[in-house]
Structure formats: C-alpha cells, structure tokens
Structure 1
Amino acid sequence: MPTREQEIQRRAALSISRVTKAVFPGTVNHHNTLFGGTALAWMDEVSFIAATRFCRLPLVTVSTDRIDFNHPIPAGSIVELVGTVVKVGNTSLKVRVEVFVEKMYSEEREKAIEGVFSFVAIDEQKRPVPVLPL
C-alpha cells in the first residue's frame, strides 16, 4: 500500500491540467491586451479542474495567493494555462497556475502570469471533508 506522500505524488502527476486559449478581441482591454479579470477567471477554472482531478470531490475556491502579472498578453496570442497541485492538507489543497503566452506565428513562449489558488473539499452540507481517503 502506498504511503500518503506517494499517493499525493501519484495524484498530483495525474491531475496536471492544461487549457489553451486564443486571445480574441472580446477578451482584451483598451491597451489591446488580455483583461486581468478574464485571465483570473481562466486561472480559477484550470485550477478547479486540476484540484477536482486530484481528489474527485466537490470543492470550493477559498482564496488566491499572490498573483503575479509579469508580462502583458497581447490580442492575437495563444495562451496556455497549466494547473499543478503543489500542496495538500487534510481538507484543502493548493494549485499553482502558470500562464504562458505564445506569439501566434512564432515559437517564442514566455511565462506571463503565475498564481496559487486554494480549495477546500466539502460534503453535501458544505462542511469540509478530507481530500484523501484515510
């Protein structure tokens, strides 16, 4: 039988989630770059998917840690969001999301945004439950 740490590593590897988007005109601001709020919504979504794939339980987002917007993401770019479970508690877990930007017609790629989202697993009465079976 695997140890808790081995099970966490196994589930974390299986739960890595990637979402790719194109930055179209409806998602940009007056600077012709991706709206920060749109980026945050995309990040919350991919972090939720990774967290759910990790534990297969109902989850709620309880907080975000520091979100660093390192580079603007221009219209016409390709964006890849990568969610990875990085910490597991008893009833909670944290997912790091990295957002990479690629020029549409070039192989250039750089990390544009990074942040961490925290989730708590809940039961039908909205009470916290363990994210791993005992």
Structure 2
Amino acid sequence: MEQMAKPTSQSKTLMTQLIFPLDTNHHDTMFGGKLMEYMDKVAAIAAMRHARMQVVTASTDNLDFLAPIRVGEVIEVEAFVTWTNRSSMEIYVSVHSENLYSGDRKTTVTAFFTFVALDQYGKPAPVPSVMPETEEEKQLHATAPDRHKLRKKRKQDRI
C-alpha cells in the first residue's frame, strides 16, 4: 500500500543546549563526539517522526565542523528528513551556536545522516516519501539522489 508523502515540517526537530565545561576539551571548545551524539539523537527523532516506527542509524556523511563551539555558548541542533528511499531516510542536521552576550550566531556543523525504518520484527520497512516545502528543503531534496548513489558506491567499495 502506497503511503502519502509527508511534508518536511512534520519531521523537523530542534534541540537547544547550553555548553558547560564538562562538554568541552582542553581548548574550552565542545567535544566533537559529544556534539555527534546530540546530532544523532535529533536525527533519530526526526526519522521516527517521519516514519512513525523504530529506526536505526545506517550512516553519517559530510560531517563538517565549520567553527568551534565554546564553553558558555548555546547550540541549536536542527534536523529534518530531506529524502526517502524504500526504507531509508536521509536527514539533514545543522548546528548553530550563539554567544548569548553578543548575540553572534554561526553555523558550526552540518551533516547528512541515513536512517532505516524497522518493522515490529526488526526488518527494514517502507517509509512515506517526503514533500519539501522551503527553498532549502527543495534544493536538498533535489540533490539527495546523487548523495544516495555516492553512499551506495562507498559501501560497495568497502565490501
């Protein structure tokens, strides 16, 4: 049975965190691994909102650290489903940091995550397609098949 396409806005997920000293390294900048954990969680929530079932992380790519995040700054981790295949979903995750005293905001990290939806038996399950709404979402949706092909090739090259 064909499922109706879902608008991107239905999967959109946002997490806001204040960065404390325990979140940072000896440079007083945020641990990359801690940030990746937040990104994976937000991406998983976006995927579950879209699929309305269990999901697992299949891959992460194009994880680009663009600027350091400093102790005392606030981060916003945003994720939404950009494109789907049969049972997989590509999720775009972006992180913005904000200095609460100056109000300066910057994009600090972006990445694409791939999640697979699972049925009650733990097997891959079909997911609805996605309907992009904004210009950014439409551009990411249009370029997603090329990223999907690159992921498949990368996986094939490792086998």
Q: Structure 1 length as normaliser, TM-score?
A: 0.90
Instruction: Look up the equivalent residue of 1:23 and give its one-letter code.
Output: I
Determine whether 1:93 maps to 2:86. Answer: no
DSSP-derived class of the 2:27 partner: coil
* Unmatched 5+ stretches in structure 1: none
Give the distance between the partners of 1:15 and 1:55, measured in 2 at CA. 9
TM-aligned CA deviation for residue 14 of structure 1:
1.5
Determine whether 1:26 maps to 2:22. Answer: yes
Counterparts of 1:1-134 in structure 2 under 5 Å? 4=4, 7-8=5-6, 10=7, 12-132=8-128
Give the distance between the partners of 2:73 and 2:13, measured in 1 at CA. 20
* Match in the other structure for 2:140: none
Contact 2:83 2:89 in 1 (8 A): yes
Structure with more of its chain in helix, by fraction:
2
Q: How many residues align?
A: 127
DSSP-derived class of the 2:10 partner: helix
* Unmatched 5+ stretches in structure 2: 130-159
TM-aligned CA deviation for residue 125 of structure 1:
2.4
Offset from partner CA, 1:62-104 (integer Å, 9 cap, x none): 1101100000001000000110111111100011100000002
Give me the CA root mean square deviation. Answer: 1.5
Contact 2:84 2:128 in 1 (8 A): no
Give structure 1 regions of 4+ aligned residues with deviation exceeding 4 angstroms.
none
Give the distance between the partners of 1:127 and 1:79, measured in 2 at CA. 35
TM-aligned CA deviation for residue 106 of structure 1:
2.0
Offset from partner CA, 1:13-70 (integer Å, 9 cap, x none): 1111100000001100011100000000000010011111111111000110110000
Identity, % of aligned pairs? 36
Give the distance between the partners of 1:101 and 1:85, measured in 2 at CA. 22
Give the distance between the partners of 2:30 and 2:90, measured in 1 at CA. 25
Contact 2:87 2:126 in 1 (8 A): yes
Q: Structure 2 length as normaliser, TM-score?
A: 0.76
